[in-house]
Structure 1
Amino acid sequence: MTTPEWLKPGIYGALLGAAFVGIVGFSWGGWVTGSSAEKMASEMAEDSVIAALVPFCLDMSRTDNERIAKLVTIREASSFKRRDAVMETGWATMPGSDGPNRDLAQACIEGLDLDAS
């Protein structure tokens, strides 16, 4: 099939325009693919769950009979080992889960206010 000569500039313009719109849309327009949107939604949901569970972690720490000793252990741990220390206390383990949650332990550290004396 032969394309009329007068139609070729329109076809080229449409193809270049579509490529330009796609590049601009994904670069600066905020467009995302379905998998990227799903990943962002999953991360937001996980962050919300962790934020909702922090009060339970803090309550578990307040009601623990060995609270003072465990807080001393956590305070004495280096800053990058504190999360592991909180995980060992059991405060970052929610009922029904297999083990402690690292993100919850980190959020619980921030809520414990370990730097206050």
Structure 2
Amino acid sequence: MATQSSGKVSIAQRFDNYQPSKTVLVWACFITVIATIVVGFNWGGWVTGGSSRALSVTAGDTARGELASAICVQRFNAAPDAATKLTELKAIPDSYRKRQFIEAGGWATMPGQTSADSRVAEGCSTALAV
């Protein structure tokens, strides 16, 4: 017998008998979309197109600077008097003067450029001073 004497309906029966309205379904979908967006951008690692472009430009600049510094170090070490120049460089206490030393030696001037890049010279002097 399927009758209940107490008149109470179980949760499972209420769930089976529930018929949501269109308004409830639309709001549930809207809230789900908003929750997905919030979770995706905050914890899912999603980024906007502008953020992605900014990150790629920064990564490109960093990689270009590291490559130019590596070229500078290689050019410095290939010089005939590299050991003497390295001793002179390490004797300079100020990082600004170290950068000037690298720039004056011409090692931080990249092919196709007429002047040295100060960021390249800074990275080169840091790498050589280690």
TM-score w.r.t. structure 1 length?
0.69
Structure 1 unaligned spans of 5+: none
2:70 equivalent among 34, 37, 55: 55
Q: Identity of aligned pairs, percent?
A: 22
2:39 equivalent among 7, 20, 24: 24
SS state of the match for residue 30, structure 1? coil
Report deviation, 1:21. 0.8
Matches within 5 A, 1:60-71: 60-62=75-77, 63=79, 68=84
Q: How many residues align?
A: 109
Conserved in 2, the CA contact under 8 Å of 1:83 and 1:109? yes
RMSD: 3.0
Report deviation, 1:64. 6.4
Task: Name the aligned partner's letter for residue 6 of structure 1.
Answer: S
Alignment-derived partner of residue 35 in structure 1: 50
Alignment-derived partner of residue 103 in structure 2: 87
Report deviation, 1:57. 0.6
Task: Name the aligned partner's letter for residue 12 of structure 1.
Answer: W
Report deviation, 1:34. 0.9
Conserved in 1, the CA contact under 8 Å of 2:109 and 2:116? yes
Write out per-residue CA displacement over residues 60-99 of structure 1, whole angstroms, 9 at most, x where no aligned residue: 32316587458525642424x2563233443222021253
Write out per-residue CA displacement over residues 25-72 of structure 1, whole angstroms, 9 at most, x where no aligned residue: 011100011111112222222232233333321233231658745852
The answer to whether 1:104 aligns with 2:120 is: yes
TM-score w.r.t. structure 2 length?
0.63
Structure 2 unaligned spans of 5+: 1-19
Conserved in 2, the CA contact under 8 Å of 1:74 and 1:82? no
Which has the higher Rg, Structure 1 or Structure 2? 2
